[in-house]
A and B are shown apart, each in its own frame.
Chain A
Amino acid sequence: MAVPQVAAPPPATRRVRRSHQGWKFVGPFMIVFALVFLAPIAYSIYLSLYRNRLIGGNAFVGLDNYTQALQDSQFWSGVGRVGLFLVVQVPIMLFLALLVALALDSGRLYGKSFFRVSIFLPYAVPAVVAALMWGFIYGSQFGLVGSINDALGISLPDPLKPSLILASIGNITTWQFVGYNMLIFFSALQVVPKSLYESAAIDGAGQLRIIRSIKLPAIRGALVIATIFSIIGSFQLFNEPAILRNLAPNAITTYFTPNFYAYSLTFSGQQINYSAAVAVIMAVITMIVAYVVQLRGTKDL
C-alpha cells in the first residue's frame, strides 16, 4: 500500500528472531479489522463497478463511475475546499496543540492538570450539543454575534455567510481537536527521558534550544502521525459542516466536502455505487498526500 512504515516508531534496540509469534499478537486485531474495514472496502470497490437505477435496475458498468467522478466538478470543488482547509487549519491546530503540550511538559505551569483536562474537554462534547452551542454563538439574529452587535452598535460579519463558513468550521474543528492532539504530544513528551534535557540544562542550554534540539526530535514520530491523522481527518471533514448545515443550508452544499458528498449521494440520492467510486478516489488522494507528507516529515526533522 501507499504508506509503508508510516512514522515507524524508533526501532527497538533488538528484536526476537523472525517468527510467526508476532501474528499471535497482531492476529486478533487484524481479524476484526478485516471484518469492519477490509470487507466493507472490498464490497465498496465491487459496488463501484455497478450502477443501480430506480428504473432499469442494477447493471455492471465497469469504470464508468470512476470516469464520471473524475469529471465531476462538484466532487473536485469539495476536494479543493478540504485542500484549502488542510493547508490553513491543520498547521494552526497542530501548532497550538504543540505549544500547549510543551507548556504542560515544561513543569513551569501553575494548575497543570486543570489545563490538561479543560483543553481536552471539547473533544468529549457530543455533536448534538456542539450544534446547539455553535448555533447560538454564531447566530447573527438571536445568538452571541447578534447580541454583541446590539450591545456595541457594530455589525460583525455573519460567520455563517458563504465566504466565512469555512473559517467558522475551521474554528470549531480547532476548538475540538487541539486538546486531542495536545494529549498525543504530551504523552509522547512524557516518554522522553528527562535526564536528556536535564543534563542539557545543566550544560547551559536555554529552554528554546532544548525544545528545538531535544524535545521536538524526540517526539518526531508523534508529530508525523498526528499530521497524518489530521490530514485524513481534514479530507474526511464531515461532522462540523453537518452541524452547521441546519443553520446555513445555503452556504454548505451537499457536496461541500468529499465525505459530505459521498454521504449525500448515498443517503439522499440512493447512488450507492457512485458514492463508492467517489470514496475510493478520495482514499487514493488521501493516501498519496499522507505519503508525501510522511516522506517530507521524516526527511526534514
Chain B
Amino acid sequence: MSRFLKVAAVASAAVLALAACGGGDDDSSTGSSGGATVSEADVTAALEKGGTLTVWAWEPTLKDVVTKFQEKYPNVKVDLVNAGTGDKQYTALQNAIAAGKGVPDVGQIEYYALPQFAIGKALTDLKSYGAEALKADFNPGPWNSVNSGGGVYGLPMDSGPMALYYNKEVFDKYKIEVPKTWTEYLEAARKLHAADPKAYITNDTGDAGLTTSLIWQAGGKPYTVDGTNVTINFNDPGSQEFVKVWQALISEKLLAPVSSWSDGWFQGIGNGSIATVATGAWMPANFVTSAPAGSGKWRAAELPQWTAGANASAENGGSALSIMDKGANKELAYGFLKFANDGDGVQVRVDGGAFPATSKTLADPAWLADEFEYFAGQKANEIFAKSAQQVVTGWSYLPFQVYSNSVFNDTAGKAYVSNTTLADGLKAWQDQSAKYGNEQGFTVK
C-alpha cells in the first residue's frame, strides 16, 4: 500500500506542479512589443558580438542563406530547424509557447497564419526596430500581409503572386485558346473534357487557400478585421463571381477529383490529364522536381480575369520570418531577418529558385530575363513580376484563419461531393468560422 501511495503522490505532485504553471502564457513579458526602440547600431553590435540563433523554417533555400550569413558574421551560430511544414510547425510553436520553453528566436509563418500569431501576442512588433523604413523594399502585397493591427510582425520572405500554368501541348492538341477570363476558362474546361473524358482543366477537391485567393482576385472582401471586431460575409460581389464559375465547374464535373500535392496530382501534371494549375509564382521549382515528365510542355500565363480587360491579381501562399516574442536574442534575430529577406540573402534564395518579395529583384533585368527550361525557355518572371504589381489591395485574412481553413472541407467541401451548392457550403463555412471566433472572444458578425 505504501508503494501505491507513493505512486499516487508522485502523480498528484506532478499534476499540481503543472496546474501551477498551466496559465504560464498570460504573464507575457512584453518587453519589446511596444517600448524601447532598437537602433541599427544595436543590431550591428549584436551581430558583431555574436551568439546562437534558433530558426524554425521549412523553406529549403534558407540553408544556403544561413551558410552565407555565418560567413559574414562568424560569431553568430544559426541553428536552422525544420520543425514541420505549415500547420505542423504552428502546432509546435503553440506548444512551445504554452510550455514557455524551447521557443525559437525566429519562425517562418505563412501570411494567412500571421494575424493569428500576432493577435495571440506570440510575435515581436518590428516597428521598434525601424522595420517601417523597409516598406519600400518590399512588394505591396507581402508588405501588407506582415502588417496586422497597426504593427509589423515580420519581414516578408517569399510571395506568391498568382499565375495560370497550363500544359501547352494539351491546349494545342485540342486547339484551345489560353483563357483570358474565368468565363473563357469554363468554356475551355468544357471543350477539353468533351474532347478527352480523361482530361480535366484542373484538379480541385476543395482548397481554402485557392478559394480565398480567387475571391481576393475578384475584388471580394469577405473578411474585415478591426481589432477584435470581425465580419465574415461570402455574399459580397467578389465571392459571388467566384461561386458562379466554380459552381459550374463542379456541377458539370469538370474538375479532376485529385487533391493537390498528392502523387496522383504530380502524375496528372506530368501526363497531361490535368491541364492547368492556378497558383503562386513559387510553383516552377516544384514542377521541376515533382513533375519532371511535364518539362517543356508547360507554360505560364497571366491569371484569367473576372472582368474582361481587367488587370487584377492575388497572392497565393508566401511566408514571412518573424521574431518570436518569447525568443531570447531579438537584436540578433532582427539582424538575421534583414540579411535573409532584405539583404544579401535575397539573391541567394532567388538563385536557389525561390520567388522573392523584394521590389528590387522584381525590377532586376537579369532576373526578368531568366529563361525557364521547364517552360521551354519562356521568360516567366516577366509574368510573375507583372502579377506582383497587380495584386488587389485591401485584402485581409481572419485572425483565426488557421482554424477556419481547417474546417473548409467540413463545410464548403460538401459542395464538391454532394448536392450542396457552393454558395450554401461557403455559408456553412462562414457560420462555423463565426461560431469559433465568438467562442474565442472575438465579436464576429
Contacts and interface: CB of A to CB of B under 8 A. Distances in A.
Interface centre among B11, B205, B206, B256 (most CB of A within 10 A): B11
B120 A250 contact: no
Interface stretch (B56-64, B257-265, B280-288): B257-265
B30 interface: no
Interface string B113-127: 000100110000000
Given A141-B257, A264-B406, A54 B15 contact: no
Contacts of A140: 257
Given A54-B441, A142-B268, A267-B91, A249 B206 contact: yes
Interface in B194-220: 205-206
Interface size band for B: 35 or more
A269 B257 CA distance: 27
B15 A42 contact: yes
Contacts of B234: none
Interface centre among A35, A46, A55, A57 (most CB of B within 10 A): A55
Contacts of A50: 22
Interface in A142-167: 142-143, 158, 161-162
Contacts of B417: 161-162, 250-251
Nearest to B8: A34
19 contacts: A27-B3, A34-B11, A38-B11, A43-B22, A46-B18, A53-B439, A54-B442, A58-B22, A58-B23, A58-B26, A139-B264, A140-B257, A141-B273, A162-B418, A246-B262, A250-B417, A253-B410, A254-B409, A254-B410
A20 interface: yes
A248 B417 CA distance: 10
B3 A20 contact: yes
Interface in B299-336: none
Given A142-B268, A249-B206, A249-B413, A136 B441 contact: no
A270 interface: yes
B439 A42 contact: no
B7 A34 contact: yes
Sorted nearest first, the 5 A-B pairs with minimum C-beta distance are A55-B441, A268-B406, A250-B413, A56-B441, A34-B11
A46 B119 contact: no
A254 B259 contact: no
B170 to A, nearest CB: 16
A232 interface: no
A141 B268 contact: yes
Given A58-B26, A247-B262, A268 B441 contact: no
A76 to B, nearest CB: 15
A56 B437 CA distance: 12
Nearest to B414: A250
B10 interface: yes
Q: How large is the interface on A (under 10, 10 to 19, 20 to 34, 35 or more residues)?
A: 35 or more
A255 interface: yes
B15 A23 contact: no
Nearest to A45: B15
A140 B200 CA distance: 14
B123 to A, nearest CB: 14
Contact of B87 (A142, A162, A251, A268): A268
A196 interface: no
Interface string B75-96: 0000000000001000100100
Given A57-B26, A249-B206, A35 B441 contact: no
A224 B403 CA distance: 41
A30 B9 CA distance: 12
B14 A270 contact: no
B205 A249 contact: yes
Nearest to B407: A254
Contacts of A53: 439-441
Given A27-B3, A34-B10, A55-B228, A46 B15 contact: yes
Interface of B: 1-4, 7-8, 10-12, 14-15, 18-19, 22-23, 26, 87, 91, 94, 98, 116, 119-120, 205-206, 228, 256-259, 261-264, 267-268, 273, 399-400, 402-403, 406-407, 409-410, 413-414, 416-418, 436, 439-442
Interface string A27-49: 10011001100110011001100
B97 to A, nearest CB: 10
A135 interface: yes
Nearest to A255: B410
Interface of A: 20, 23, 27, 30-31, 34-35, 38-39, 42-43, 46-47, 50, 53-58, 132, 135-136, 139-143, 158, 161-162, 246-251, 253-255, 264, 267-272
Contacts of B10: 31, 34-35
Contact of A42 (B11, B257, B259, B418): B11
A230 B205 CA distance: 33
B129 to A, nearest CB: 25
A269 to B, nearest CB: 5
A56 B19 CA distance: 19
Nearest to B203: A141
A132 B263 contact: yes
Given A54-B440, A246-B262, A27 B228 contact: no
Nearest to B12: A42
Contacts of A42: 11-12, 15
B410 A54 contact: no
Contacts of A142: 258, 263-264, 267-268, 273
A59 to B, nearest CB: 10
Contacts of A143: 264
Contacts of B267: 142
Contact of A54 (B119, B407, B409): B119
A20 B257 CA distance: 63
